[in-house]
Each structure stands twice: as C-alpha cells, then as structure tokens.
Structure 1
Amino acid sequence: MADVSHTSYLPAILTFCAGAVIAVPVFRRLGQSAVLGYLAAGIVIGPSVLAVIKDPDAIRGTAEIGVVLLLFLVGLELQPARLYSMRKDILGAGLAQMVLSAGVIGAVAWWFGLSLGGAVAVGLALALSATSIALQLLEERGDGGETYGRRTFSILLFQDISIAPALALLPLLATTEAEAGGSMRALAGLGFALLAVAIIVLAGRYVLNPFFRILAKAGAKEVMTAAALLIVLGAALLMEHVGLSMAMGAFLAGVLLADSHFRHELEADIEPFRGVLLGLFFMAVGMSLDLKLVADNALLLALAAPLLVLFKIAVAASILRASCSSTTEAIRAGALLSPAGEFAFVLLPLGLSLGLLNPQQGAIATALAAISMLIGPIVAKLIDIWLLSRTQAETMDEDFDGAGGTVIVVGFGRFGQVVTQALLLQHVDVTIIDSDVERIRSAAKFGFKIYYGDGTRLDVLRSAGADKAKIICVCIDKREDALHIVEMVKAEFPTVRLHVRAYDRIHAIELMKANVDYQMRETFESALGFGRVTLEGLGLTYDEASLVIDHVRDRDAQRMEIQFTEGLAASLTKVPRVTPEPLIKPKAKSKALTQETREVIEDGGAEVAVGGVGEPER
C-alpha cells in the first residue's frame, strides 16, 4: 500500500509536465505569451476536454503558492526610493485606472442582477490586470526601461498593492449583508489582522536581516533557499489564519526585505519555484474553465470578453494620455493592462465562498476572466504591430535619457574596493555583487547598489541588471570562477563589456583567449609602481624612472602577445608553461650566495623558461 500512495502523484505530475512542455513552446513559437500555453494546456487536460485531471480544485491549493511567491517578488521591488520616484504614476494613474474600471464593471454587474457585494467583487476582480503577462511581454520586447513600460509597471504596482485592502473588504461586505450584528466580529477580525501585520513588520525590521546574516556566514546555499521559503510561506500562513490572504502575507514579507542586502539572492532562490508553481496555477485556471458553461453562455461571453478587453484599453489609455503620455505609448500600455489579472482567480472564489456570488455568477465571471487572458495578449500583439508600423518615424525620436546602463562589480575584496573608488569619484552608477557578509557591510558605506549573491550564478547576474549594464568588472580572486563568469556573460549578454582581474600570467592568457575587453594581472601595475619609486630612491628622476617602467611594460606586452599566439597555434586547450624570465638579457651572471641556493638553482636548470616578469607559475 505504501508503494501505491507514493506513486499515485506521478501520473498527475507527468501530465502537468507534458502539457507544459508541449503547449508553451507552441505558443511561444506563435509569438504569444507562455501564460496562454499554460491556460490552453489546462483546458485540454482538464475535465472539459480529455479529463486527464478530473478535479482541478485538488491542485489549486498548491498552485496558489505560485501567486504567493509572485507577490513576494513584487514586494521585493518596492524599495522606498523607487516608490517615491514613481509616486505620481502609482497614486495618480494607478488609482484612477482601478477606480474607473472597477466602478464601471461593478455597475454593469449590478445592472445584470448581482448583489451589491457581488458587484463589488466582480468589479475589483476584472479591473485588475495580469502582472505576469504584462511584465513578460515587456521583457520580450525589451521595453521595461521605456516610458510606457515604466508607467505600465506603476499601474500594475498600484493594483498589486490594492489587492490587500480588496481581500480585507470582501469579508466585511459579506458580514454586512448577512447580519448587521456581525459587524463587531468583523471589526475584531480586522483587529487581529492588523496585529498580524504588526508582527510581520516588527519581525522584518528587527529579525530577518540578522537571521539571514547568520545563515550567510554558515555558507550553505540550500539553507538560504529553505529560509527564504520559510519566511514567505510562514508570513502567508499567518495572514491566512487571521482571515486575510496568503498573498498579502508574502507581499508584506517582500516589502520588508526590499532594502535588504540579501534581496537579490532571495529573488534568485525563489524565482524557479515561482515560475513552476505560477505555471501550475495558470494550468489550474485553464482546467477550471467549464467549456459546457461557455457553450451555454456563448453569446454573452463572446460579447463580454472583447468588450472587457477594449474597455480596459480605453480607460488606461485615456488616463495615461491625459497625464502627458503620447498616444502611441498610452495605447501600448493600455493593451498590456487589458487582460484580467491572476488575482481575479483569488477574489472570485473568495466572493463565492463568502456568499457574495452564487455558483452560476462565479463560474461566468471566472470564465470571462480566463477568456480575457486568452485574447488580451493577442489583442496587445496586434495593436503593437499596428502602432509600430504607423509610428516608426515617431519612435525614432523617443527620449532615451536615463536608459544607459551601469557598471556591475562582481567581488568587493581589496581589488574591487580600489576599482570602485575611481567610479565613486565620477559618480558612476555602480552595482556591487558579493557573497561575503562583511564585504557587503563595507560596501554599504559607498552609497552603491549592493546585492548579496553568488556572482557565478546566471540568475543573480540577471537579477542585478547585467543585461542593462555597460561594463561588468569581474574582481574576484578565483580564476576558475572568473572564467565561468566570463563564459556566461559572453553567452547571455554579448553586448556588455568585460573587464576582468587576472590572477596571474596564465590566467591573463586564458582571459585573452576568452576575448574579454580588458584584463589586468592583479599585482602587475602595483609592482611596476613600486619599482619606479625604488629607481627614484636610487637617484633617477621621476621621468627617467617612468621611462624605464614604460619600457618594461612594453616588453612585457610583446612577450604576452607571443605567448598568446603560440599557445593558440600549439593547441586550443593546452596553455604553455609560464615561469619568470627577464625581458632583457642581464649583464651579469646570477650568483648563488650559499650552497643550498646553488643546489636549488642547479636542480631547476633543465626547465625551459618562457614566462614574463617576476610571476612564478601558480
């Protein structure tokens, strides 16, 4: 019996995986969002078509964790400085879009016979937009830094923030409609909810950073991942127990960690779970779409879904156009905001469970939200093609001020600290990546963007903005890790310049083979400077000593080029042995001052020296 219980989950898991790997590539090949692939896969494997999965509600609880993790990642983006710079769009355009859309949709729902509470639930649910779809489309277009992309994100941000009060409002509406005397219990529940929020805020302020600092010192990455899931799911469970949403708890946890040095490490750890579970969530949404209900209400849904999408485009575009966006930007942003959001499938079941909606009303509203998510990205794609074809000349004159990249410095040890001093003097926008807690603390004094994380991981580099950087400076002292970073950056971010610290001469040759833009041996220039001052101490002038040092530098560069070329000709994988060798022929013969020294020299006499200045093989 044990074997049966353990293997009973495998058919469902294999079904989900098969549906995803078949549907998502097909939809991406058609130029559509992966979300559409998940929805379509869910419809096919659900009860309405193949009935491979007969009970979609059985996986909804697990799938909703994907939404929880999505809100946590949204919360991680809510840094105070970023929020302040976006305040007008968030509080202005975001609030106006939510109020107008929810008000009109709710009024139409009330006109169709829904109760006041049910109309509010439907209005709020359908006024929200799909954050995952909009952000994915922006990423695919590479327009996240464009004006319309930033304004779209601001409205999505307000919607995500408004989810928390919306989730708190629906139980109050249900209590008010059910019994007037229950308002005291509702207020008591609200008090418990506020207490839970206060607990999470205090824990985030005084516990989370020291907690992660202790774990970081332990050096176990899997424990950091487990701790991140513990914090997110623990906050979510606490909020669920006081009558609010799990998503709200995760959102608060993310906000409290937005200024943490461990933010991007947490983001990189959570992202794979978020992606898989959010995909599962969309498949669950597709499975819950009752095609028989859609067929029975075909005329209503066929009219309502396109009207909903076009109405939301018109509202968002009008608001953005009135707040000084160009017509093209306003329409493109409105198109991205047109599908119903992920939280429609949280708010509508909540309204159903509270009695604000009857099963028929809830099913039709859910079907309307799902259909809008299917057609919304297609409409956005068509509108984008049409607008770009008509306004090509206009887009050439767009303002790209501030779109320039930054410098990312991987490694903030003794070498990286000196490099960043010059950048700091010129007020360059610098991002530091390091996995050492003490170095992170030191970097905080410089005023840089600081990300705790492993710079050898692609997801950490991507999260830190490597795709938008102008230069990535690799300043770590491990040669293998430096070469690994170079390989990743060359493959994933080919337009970014690479400046790399070389450990020694062999490492420098390897970096030259990897076609980095600039490399420097960590002790070479400092040793030349030391030698110049020594020459001055022997009586040479500064100019005379500098001329000698320049001569040494030129000869070393010539020798490096010879070794680089010979190494490539000999073998693509074999690096020639490098040992110290003088760049000019000495006038005097070396003299051993002791017998032990003479024996050491004679034992090594058979070796062939092909190296450079003062660098033993290491």
Structure 2
Amino acid sequence: MSAIAKETLAPVLNAEAQGYYIFIIVFLLASAVVVPIFQRYKVSSVLGFLLIGVLLGPDVMGRLATAWPVLDAFSVMRSHTVHQLAELGVVFLLFTIGLELTFERLKSMRRLVFGLGALQVVLCALALTGLFLLIGRSFISSVALGMALALSSTAVVIPVLADRKALKTASGRSVFAVLLAQDIAVAPILITVVMLAGGAAGDGRSLSGLLALIPALIGIGILVIGGRWLLRPLFNTVAFSRSRELFMAACLLCVLVAGQISVMAGLSMGLGAFVAGVLLAETEYRREIENMVEPFKGLLLGLFFVTVGARLEVAAVISQPMLVFGLAAVLIAIKMAVIYPVARLFGLINRSAIETAAVLGPAGEFAFVIIDQAIGHKVLNAEFGQTVILASIISLFCIPFLAAGAGRLSKALAKNGEAPTSVAPDVVSEAAKVIVVGFGRVGELVTDMLKLHNIDYMVVDINPQVTQRARAQHIEAWYGDASAAEFLHSLGIERARAVVVTASNPAFTDEVVKAVRAMRADVHIIARARDAAHAQRLYQMGATDAVPETIEASLQLAENTLIDLGVPMGLVLASVHERRDVFRKMFGIRKPEAPVRPKRSLEEVAAAAVEKAAGT
C-alpha cells in the first residue's frame, strides 16, 4: 500500500477502531454496572442487555452520532463482525445444553422432544400460516413466516428460566425439550424456504434444497463418529499437561470446529456445537469443560441480546404501532393457545402447561435468520418482513414479564393443592450423597465401603489416568479441581450429604476443605490429614472429622499385632479407641462443638464393644 493510500485511509481506520472501542466500553459497562442493578431489583438480566441494545440502536446512539461522531458505536453494531461474534453466544449456549445431555437422557426425553416439541412446531406453523393468509399474504410467504415464527427463543428463555430457578421444574424441563426440538427443526426449515423459493421461481432451487439434506446428514455423521473417536483423546492429552490455558483452548477449539463442520454441511453452527456437547457429556471432562466455557457463554450471550435490542427501530415502531404491537400480541396469543392444550395432552398439569405456553409464546432468534433468508430469496416482501422482525423483537422483550406472570399464576394455582406432574423426565445433573475427592489407594477403599453399604457416591480427581481407571470400574468419576467453587457447584455440592477428602497433598486438602465449608455450613467434611498438627488445622478450617494418617497407621499396626498375639478382639478394639482419644488430647486436637461423652473405664468400653459386635 502506497504512502498516499495509507494517509487517506488512516482517518477512516482510526474512526472505525474508535467506534469499536466505544462499543466495547459501553457493552462492558452494561455487563459490570447496569445488568447487576437489574438483578439487584430482581429484574431479568436479559432485559437489561436488550435495553442496552436499544440505546445503542439507530434511534438513540445512531442519532447522537450525527452530532458527536465519537459516539458512533451504532455503525459498529451494524458490522458483520459484531453480529458473527454475537451469534457465538447462542452457539456456546447450545454447547452447554448438550453437555447436560447424554444419549441415554436424550432417549429418555424422546417423547417430549419428538412428541410435544415436534407437534408444537407443526401446529404453531399451521396456525400462523393461516393468520398470514387471512391478512392477505401469499401462500409461500405465509408458509415461510409461519415456520419462522413457530420457533421460540432458546437464547432468551433458558437464561430467564435460570434467573427464576425454574429450569429444574416440570415446566422448565418440558420447555427445554421443546426448545431442543425447535433447534433440530431449524435446518429443515431453512432448507424448506430454499425449496419454496425455487418452486416459486421455477428455477430448480427446490431440487437443490432437497439435495442439501444429503450433506447435512453426512455432516451429522462426521460429527458423531469423528467426535466419538477424537474428543476423548484430545482432552486426555490436554489434561496430562495440567495447563488450564491449554484446556480452555481445547474447549474453544471443540466448539468452533464442530460448529464450522455443521455450517459446511448446511446446518446451523449451534446444532454442531450441541452435538459436540452431547458427545462430551459422556466423558469425565464434562464438569471442567462447563466451568471453562461458562464465562464465554455469559458474555457472548449478553452481546447477542445487545445486538437483538439494537435491531429494534423505535421510529419504525412509532410510525405503525398498531400493526407492530398488534402483530406481536396476536403472535403470542396464537402460540399460547396452541401450546397450552398440546402440553396438557402430553400430561402436564394446568400450571405447568401455563408456564410452558407463556415462555414459548414469543418468537425466537432464528426467526430473524429465516425471515432474512426468505427476503433474500424473494419469498417475502422486504418491508413486511422488517415489520414482522420488529414484532418478533417486541415479543422477545415480553418473555421476562410473561415468565414472571406465569410464575405468579402458578403459585396461585399451587395453593389449590394441584399435584405435581411426573411426565417430564429429570434432566438435572447427577448428584450423589457423597463426593470423594481423590481416588488413590485410600479413596478406593473408602468407595468400596460406601458401595458395600449402598451409599451413592461420585469420585473427583485432577489426574486423568485416575478418572479413566475409575470409569473403567463403572464408577461416576469427574476430572477437575475440587478446590474451585464453580466446579463444586457443577457437581451438585448443594445436595451432597458428605465430602470425603482423601488426597495426599496437605495444601490441596486445605483448599478443598475451605472451599466446601464456604459453600455449605451443614455438610459433613471428612478429611485425610498428614499428622496431628495438620488434623488440628483442618478442624479449625471447618472439617467435621480429620484423620491423621500417621497415627491411624500406628494404631492399625498395634491392633493387628495384639490380635495375632491372642488378645481378645473386644479388649483390642477398646484399647485402640482409648488410645485414639489419648492422642487427640495429647496433640490438642479438638473437634469444634463436639458432644461431651461420659468417661468410661477400659472394661466398660470393652464390654460395650463386645455387646455391639454380638448384636450385629
């Protein structure tokens, strides 16, 4: 590039770069300041991002930029780069959804996914097609609009339900199943739009649209077969490096490559990421992967909501408010009227069916893609298509309010004694009664005893070889750092009864005990200690029981020696217990708030031990 060209383009490039910086600052300001304010007043964070998008749109920031060019973040919002980056938020969301599902769980949900979900898409598409035919649109454009608006918003509904802690309810699981069916239906709908365009133009595009199914099926096959062969070895290799940076790079590589393969096959990027998530859900790395991608998912989803809000042209809405708001209201009403009886047909109780219909009533983000494609293929008039997009965005803004209203109505109905439904399969993460940290020789012995007494447990270890060995024994084992609060949360620490720390590293044991106690004040923590001093430190950190390995090994040796020498077992057990108490007093080991027991003689302890042994 010549010097003259550089001098000519420099102001343009500097202005564009400045626009990006302003946009990034505003977006981060929204994430760090504005959205927490919304959450503080129990308003959905999704709504906060959408409103920030409106402020960055053509009617606020776009108008201010005419007077102050430095504020021209709106031009950046319209750039292809920002929209591509924002769409990654939906991709990461579908990836994390896939991580929560194994093929066995998908099989257990098939009635809701391919029954309730598929029937909802078909019936809503037919009802909305009839609506557009009634208002004078052509048959082909009506079909395209009906299919586009039959879909709901995975990106908005899932975070809204998560904010309300409703994902694990019967209605939440049903909504999840329907959204999964809709995500699967996106690719066939896009292909159908191409076929409709070809049929209308008579240029053979309908045949090309039909042939597009072949590479789509090949792409899914490559993802499933290749993923089963390659994903586990990839994460095994990265896990051995013990580098969180490399592990994060592997997670991002997996999402982006799977998404790109899906795009090359003519499918959506999100569907490819979802398939990759399902494949990884069967591995021991699933929990750690969830923690790695969560920050990316949160920020990119926020960026997606901002770009959606920026598409809302306030001036266009004001110019024809009756049409835009009326279309949004009719859209929501028709879909709710269709979804409610279908949900009841599939066994949901009244209040669950209402909640399901309320959040699935508005349009979804894929409506923008499908309508834009329909406009591009001349299937739909551009002006009317933009009006429908505006109505769809208005309906998206309604989701937090519809969810809140349905929740209040659900509570009111619950007071009438309506029994909960049991048709929606539970898709929440596994939760065991006991979490065993470390699966060495000590941890393996602990799990053997838990299994002997039929107590559910899971194993956690930072060594990939150890987790593989545990999985080979058909034990639920997860790779990850048990001292990280996010990882403990993903394991279901809120529902665990006890945590047993068998790791040989005292510093790591300390970190785990502190992390668990910070999250749960009532859970039992039994930890392996190096010596008496370490045991005392663990008690001070909040451990329920600390077992010094040096003392216990000595007592075990003494117990076996006495038994081999012919000393009665009752007396041996009593003396071991007595000696253990002596050690505790000698080294100053005191369990906080331990109950005071009456002191008994050695003979009394021996008699009690023999009586207990005889009773069992």
TM-score (normalised: structure 2): 0.84
The alpha carbon displacement at 1:317 in A equals 2.7
Structure 1 residue 181 corresponds to structure 2 residue 204:
yes
Which stretch of structure 1 is more off in the superposition, 425-434 or 374-383? 425-434
Aligned with residue 389 of structure 2, among 337, 342, 366: 366
Q: 1:302 to 1:483 in 2, by over 3 A?
A: same
Aligned with residue 463 of structure 1, among 490, 514, 522: 490
Structure 1 residue 105 corresponds to structure 2 residue 128:
yes
Q: 1:324 to 1:242 in 2, by over 3 A?
A: closer
Structure 2 counterpart SS, 1:349: helix
Which stretch of structure 1 is more off in the superposition, 321-330 or 400-409? 400-409
Q: Which residue of 2 aligns with 1:445?
A: 472
1:114 touches 1:357 (CA, 8 Å); kept in 2? no
The alpha carbon displacement at 1:102 in A equals 2.2
Q: 1:202 to 1:116 in 2, by over 3 A?
A: farther
Q: 1:175 to 1:6 in 2, by over 3 A?
A: same
Structure 2 counterpart SS, 1:394: coil
State the aligned residue count: 567
Which stretch of structure 1 is more off in the superposition, 503-512 or 114-123? 114-123
Aligned with residue 145 of structure 2, among 109, 122, 135: 122
Q: Which amino acid aligns with 1:54?
A: F
**How do 1:425-436 residues align onto structure 2 when only pairs under 5 Å count?**
425-436=452-463
Structure 1 residue 313 corresponds to structure 2 residue 336:
yes
Structure 2 counterpart SS, 1:207: helix
Q: Which residue of 2 aligns with 1:226?
A: 249
Q: Which residue of 2 aligns with 1:289?
A: 312
**How do 1:171-570 residues align onto structure 2 when only pairs under 5 Å count?**
171-392=194-415, 394=417, 405-406=431-432, 407-494=434-521, 496-522=523-549, 524-559=551-586
2:173 touches 2:425 (CA, 8 Å); kept in 1? no
Q: Which amino acid aligns with 2:569?
A: Y
Q: Which residue of 1 aligns with 2:74?
A: 54
Q: 1:322 to 1:517 in 2, by over 3 A?
A: farther
CA deviations 1:552-597 (Å, max 9, x no partner) are: 12223444656678xxxxxxxxxxxxxxxxxxxxxxxxxxxxxxxx
Cα distance in structure 2, aligned partners of 1:504 and 1:170: 71
Q: Which amino acid aligns with 2:36?
A: P
Q: Which residue of 1 aligns with 2:3?
A: none
Aligned with residue 26 of structure 1, among 37, 43, 57: 37
1:440 touches 1:450 (CA, 8 Å); kept in 2? yes
Q: Which amino acid aligns with 1:333?
A: T
Structure 2 counterpart SS, 1:203: helix
| Aligned-pair Cα RMSD in Å | 3.1
1:429 touches 1:448 (CA, 8 Å); kept in 2? no
1:408 touches 1:431 (CA, 8 Å); kept in 2? yes
Q: Which residue of 1 aligns with 2:181?
A: 158
The alpha carbon displacement at 1:205 in A equals 2.0
Q: 1:48 to 1:408 in 2, by over 3 A?
A: farther
Structure 2 counterpart SS, 1:9: helix
Cα distance in structure 2, aligned partners of 1:97 and 1:296: 33
Q: 1:395 to 1:239 in 2, by over 3 A?
A: same
Identity percentage over the alignment? Answer: 33
Aligned with residue 48 of structure 2, among 37, 43, 58: 37
Q: Which amino acid aligns with 1:357?
A: L
Which stretch of structure 1 is more off in the superposition, 172-181 or 294-303? 172-181
Which stretch of structure 1 is more off in the superposition, 290-299 or 520-529? 520-529
Q: Which amino acid aligns with 1:10?
A: Y
2:199 touches 2:205 (CA, 8 Å); kept in 1? yes
The alpha carbon displacement at 1:348 in A equals 2.9
CA deviations 1:40-77 (Å, max 9, x no partner) are: 11001221212242233311111111111112222222
1:115 touches 1:356 (CA, 8 Å); kept in 2? no
Structure 1 counterpart SS, 2:61: coil
Q: Which amino acid aligns with 1:476?
A: A
Cα distance in structure 2, aligned partners of 1:194 and 1:470: 45
Structure 2 counterpart SS, 1:545: helix
The alpha carbon displacement at 1:390 in A equals 4.6
Q: 1:317 to 1:410 in 2, by over 3 A?
A: farther
1:508 touches 1:521 (CA, 8 Å); kept in 2? yes
Q: 1:391 to 1:183 in 2, by over 3 A?
A: closer
1:19 touches 1:42 (CA, 8 Å); kept in 2? no
The alpha carbon displacement at 1:239 in A equals 2.8
2:351 touches 2:413 (CA, 8 Å); kept in 1? no
The alpha carbon displacement at 1:124 in A equals 3.0
The alpha carbon displacement at 1:524 in A equals 4.4
Structure 1 counterpart SS, 2:152: coil
Structure 1 counterpart SS, 2:380: coil
Q: Which amino acid aligns with 2:26?
A: T
Cα distance in structure 1, aligned partners of 2:217 and 2:321: 44
Cα distance in structure 2, aligned partners of 1:427 and 1:555: 33
Cα distance in structure 2, aligned partners of 1:495 and 1:333: 35
* Unmatched tracts of structure 2, length 5 or more: 1-9, 63-70, 593-616
Cα distance in structure 2, aligned partners of 1:405 and 1:422: 19
Which stretch of structure 1 is more off in the superposition, 556-565 or 328-337? 556-565
* Unmatched tracts of structure 1, length 5 or more: 566-618
